């Protein structure tokens, strides 16, 4: 019987590890062989040798199905992490003396992306022309590993434990209305006054229909009522701008409209607590992207331009509040 060291010496462990990971992800030996551009028999020999070296079966095989054994599940989980770390190390070393280049995949919410990221794409790519940016806008959180994303901008609390998060800004929400509406219907002075106003409601299947207003001294909860409700924030924004009523928005969505005076803050001493949108806007990335040059320059570029976007501008910049100073 050959010794364990002799078995190890005859096995390219990294190649076999990569083969097993691809077999599991693609679902068959033949699919993995096609991707790796080797014969199926070569893949099979690698896995057989790996199992012989470890002394345990890693895969249950059948004609049309491949499944991990208990030992295989443990090995696969560690293998995925080790391969990712190794690939990241090789990438970082290769990038040390090189300008950022290659594919870079970013995801963000739809309205946020249209309003803030779209204007930043051209300036970023002018600075780093060798980068191929892939920007995906969606309101459904993506699995960063399965989706191959390098950076995720999202509002609300961190939703995956294995991500590194970098806060960009507070994510404050306020009530606002068009000057024409407030001139016609009057300005609420307390949360209770909202019962006399046309309140435009945002709907979400996981959301709380109530508005929870806080001024630091407690929370006032009301159930708004009015003649419009929608699950689309930008639709509500357009109707609010048209003078239909009072609505709740995150400040990043209406910041420019507040500064221009097209919208006015209602109950300026109050903020809204919203479990869906949370209290922060974050950039998130996987630990194995931590030292990637292209991810670093994208993070720095976005942080310089997006810091504080979810916070109410200084009152001196808001026409409706400047007179109160």
The pLDDT-based confidence of 7 (bands split at 50, 70, 90) is very low
Rounded distance between C-alpha atoms, residue 84 and residue 289, angstroms: 9
| Identical fold between 102-162+290-306 and 173-277 | yes
User: pLDDT of 131-142, one tens digit each?
Assistant: 999 999 987 766
What does the DSSP 8-state code read for residue 205? T
Q: Provide DSSP, 15-41.
A: HHHHHHHHHHHHSSHHHHHHHHTS-HH
Confidence of residue 316 (pLDDT cuts 50, 70, 90): low
For 173-277, CATH number out of 3.40.190.290, 3.10.50.40, 3.30.420.10, 3.40.50.720 equals 3.40.190.290
Higher pLDDT, 35 or 241: 241
Q: What's the predicted TM-score (pTM) here?
A: 0.67
Residue 9 has pLDDT above 50, yes or no: no
- CATH code of 102-162+290-306, in short, is 3.40.190.10
Which helix or strand (DSSP H or E) is residue 172 part of?
none
* Residue 247: CB atoms within 10 Å: 27
Antiparallel, parallel or unpaired: β 102-108 and 151-155 = parallel
More confident residue, 245 or 277: 245
Taking only Cα atoms into account, the Rg of the chain, rounded to an integer number of angstroms, comes to 27
Q: How large is the angle between the packed helices 29-36 and 13-26, nearest 10 degrees?
A: 120
4-95 CATH: 1.10.10.10
Task: Break the chain into its structural domains and give their ranges.
Answer: 4-95, 102-162+290-306, 173-277
- Is residue 52 within 8 A of residue 7, CB to CB? The reply is yes
């Amino acid at each position: 019987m050959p010794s364990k060291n002799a078995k190890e010496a005859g096995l390219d462990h990294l190649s076999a590890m990569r083969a097993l990971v691809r077999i599991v992800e693609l679902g068959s030996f033949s699919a993995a062989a096609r991707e790796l551009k080797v014969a199926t028999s070569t893949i099979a020999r690698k896995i057989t040798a790996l199992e012989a070296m470890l002394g345990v079966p890693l895969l249950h095989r059948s004609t049309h199905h491949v499944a991990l054994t208990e030992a295989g599940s443990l090995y696969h989980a560690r293998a995925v992490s080790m391969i990712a770390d190794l690939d990241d190390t090789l990438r970082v070393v290769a990038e040390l003396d090189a300008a950022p280049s290659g594919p870079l995949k970013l995801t963000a919410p739809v309205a946020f992306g249209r309003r803030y990221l779209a204007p930043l794409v051209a300036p970023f790519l002018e600075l780093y022309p060798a980068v191929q940016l892939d920007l995906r806008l969606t309101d459904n959180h993506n699995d960063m590993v399965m989706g191959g994303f390098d950076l995720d901008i999202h509002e609300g609390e961190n939703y995956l434990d294995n991500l590194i998060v970098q806060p960009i800004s507070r994510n404050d929400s306020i009530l606002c209305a068009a000057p024409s509406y407030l001139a016609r219907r009057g300005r609420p002075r307390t949360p209770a006054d909202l019962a006399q106003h046309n309140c435009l409601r945002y709907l979400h299947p996981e959301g709380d229909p109530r508005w929870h207003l806080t001024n630091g001294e407690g929370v006032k909860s009301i159930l708004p009522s009015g003649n419009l409700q929608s699950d689309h924030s930008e639709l509500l924004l357009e109707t609010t701008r048209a003078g239909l009523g009072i609505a709740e928005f995150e400040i990043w969505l209406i910041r420019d409209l507040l500064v221009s005076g097209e919208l006015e803050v209602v109950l300026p001493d109050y903020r809204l607590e919203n479990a869906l949108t949370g209290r922060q806007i974050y950039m998130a990335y996987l630990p194995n992207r931590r030292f990637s040059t292209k991810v670093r320059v994208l993070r720095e570029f976005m942080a310089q331009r997006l810091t504080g976007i979810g916070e109410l501008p200084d009152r001196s910049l808001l026409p409706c509040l400047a007179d109160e100073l």
